[in-house]
Structure 1
Amino acid sequence: MIEILYDHIGVYNYETDQFENEAQKEEFAEQINNILRAYKEGYYLEPTNGFIMQIPNGALREQLEYDGSDLPDSVYEQLATATEMYYRFDANLEQKKKAINILADILESEREEVKDTLNAEYEVPKNEHDKLIFGIVNGYNIRHNRADQKNDYSKEIWYDWMMQYYTSVIIAFYKLKNKYTDIDF
């Protein structure tokens, strides 16, 4: 309900004949966050995406507030979708798994370039990064759903790590890609 209010709050300016909502959204988020912080372990309305989530640590907050300036629009949209799916206050393990899968798919579509770009900055055998990045999702029942994948582990703990890891890899990859190719998205 709070998220719906946030999405639709605003005022109609009769002088400009336009619906205005930026200032109203900002004020609403500030006021509602004062209440949400005190609820259980603490929650807040994330103003960039407009959804309620548990209060994260500082590093995670930086990831969530990332503006996507180094990313192509389609990648930023996928990243934002995965973030919203994962960090919603009512997300279950299956939704979190799907969010991690979205992030892995972003990297999969750039797999060869990810190898080259990461190696341009940090010299290791070319496939080491690949094994690190894709070994997790391919070995821990995030993708492919094979019998040889690990399925008996503390998902509620490891999914948090995977989500933050893949988000960080995506952001780092595109920042490095821009550095070495001077491409602005």
Structure 2
Amino acid sequence: MAHSYYSQRKGTNPNQSGLPLDDIVDLYIRVYEQLSADGYFAEAFGFECVDAGHVAGNVRDIELEVLLAVRKKDLWPPHFHGERYSEDDLFDVIEFLFQHVSKPIDGSFHNYAECGMHWETFNKQQGQSEYRDKVNAVLGHYAKRFELSESGEILEKPQHGFERIFDADIPSSDSNVTNRINAAILRYRRHGATLDDRRQAVRDLADVLEYTRPKIKSLLTSADEKDLFNIANNFGIRHHNDQQKTGYDASLWLSWMFYFYLATIHVVLRKEQQTRAGFSTDE
């Protein structure tokens, strides 16, 4: 856990709830420039040599590559355009560079005029892991709650207290269950997810519950089981008709339904897993 300093403990720090976007952009650019100086983008973007000039990497025209990948102009280089970045711009650049970072492993030192290391061997997986750690350290100071995932996608952080449920393995080998749950989580947590996206994520989890309904019947009373599905069936999630209850704060209640259903699914699947293990032991 990060150390909390005097003004933070006292509650008088002007950035108690986090730093604004401009400061986060500045921090990120400084982190990127450090990594670049250490050779983490040499494989992709090349490097400068006092004798040979610019030695090209795998990406010959970075601005073109950014435009083709992100479909935006005026993002590259970050130190020049960063002060005009929107949140979307920053996150696009973070994700773009995740795809092109690699850790320098071995090379030769060019000592003429203190030119420096000419890296020749790289490890992409290690580079992405270290880049992600540094990016998340920066995003941890942002006033909004985001993080860079292992796959290189900016996601909204879980609500406090629910972090473990996203880290936990889904206790099922059934791809009909695991694929639908993972898709729902990704849809819900993506940066810029709309209310419709989150409603669809809740609908996906409700479908998983429907699929596991035989297991639920053995764990809940009929009344509790009915209440469980009543939420999705009568609150504008799975059906669209004039019988639906829609007069509620969608943002608040979709969040509650998402976490409630996800936790319920984990309980049901883990209970079934324990039951099967118990049966196999008895045999």
TM-score range normalised by the length of the shorter chain: 0.7 to 0.9
- 1:43 to partner: Cα distance: 1.8
- 1:79 to partner: Cα distance: 1.0
Match of 2:203 among 87, 93, 101: 101
AA at the equivalent of 2:161: A
Match of 1:29 among 116, 132, 143: 132
- Native 8 Å contact 1:45 1:52 kept in 2: yes
Q: Residues 21 and 76 (structure 1 numbering): CA distance in 2 closer, same or farther, change over 3 Å?
A: farther
AA at the equivalent of 2:153: F
Larger radius of gyration: 2
Residues in 2 aligned to 1:4 and 1:80: alpha-carbon distance in whole angstroms: 23
- 1:56 to partner: Cα distance: 3.0
Number of residues paired by the alignment? 171
Residues in 1 aligned to 2:124 and 2:223: alpha-carbon distance in whole angstroms: 48
Provide structure 2 residue ranges, at least 5 long, that are not aligned to the other structure: 1-91, 107-121
Higher relative contact order (CA 8 A, sep 6+): 1
Aligned counterpart, 2:95: 3
Aligned counterpart, 1:139: 234
Q: Spell out structure 1 runs of 4+ moving beyond 6 A.
A: 11-14
What's the secondary structure of 2:264's corresponding residue?
helix
- Native 8 Å contact 2:202 2:258 kept in 1: yes
Residues in 1 aligned to 2:196 and 2:266: alpha-carbon distance in whole angstroms: 24
Q: Residues 52 and 179 (structure 1 numbering): CA distance in 2 closer, same or farther, change over 3 Å?
A: same
Match of 2:249 among 146, 154, 159: 154
- Native 8 Å contact 1:71 1:171 kept in 2: no
Q: CA RMSD in A?
A: 2.6
Aligned counterpart, 1:60: 162
Residues in 1 aligned to 2:178 and 2:251: alpha-carbon distance in whole angstroms: 25
Residues in 1 aligned to 2:100 and 2:267: alpha-carbon distance in whole angstroms: 34
AA at the equivalent of 1:71: S
- 1:54 to partner: Cα distance: 3.1
What's the secondary structure of 1:59's corresponding residue?
coil
Aligned counterpart, 2:172: 71
What's the secondary structure of 1:176's corresponding residue?
helix
- Native 8 Å contact 2:215 2:268 kept in 1: no
The 5 A counterparts of 1:4-19 are 4-6=96-98, 9-10=101-102
Residues in 1 aligned to 2:182 and 2:100: alpha-carbon distance in whole angstroms: 20
TM-score normalized by the length of structure 2: 0.54
Identity %: 27
Aligned counterpart, 1:122: none
- Native 8 Å contact 2:216 2:268 kept in 1: yes
Aligned counterpart, 2:141: 38
Provide structure 1 residue ranges, at least 5 long, that are not aligned to the other structure: 120-124
- 1:22 to partner: Cα distance: 3.3
- Native 8 Å contact 2:195 2:251 kept in 1: yes
Show CA shifts across 1:72-124 (max 9, x none).
241222111100100112100000000011101011112122111x24xxxxx
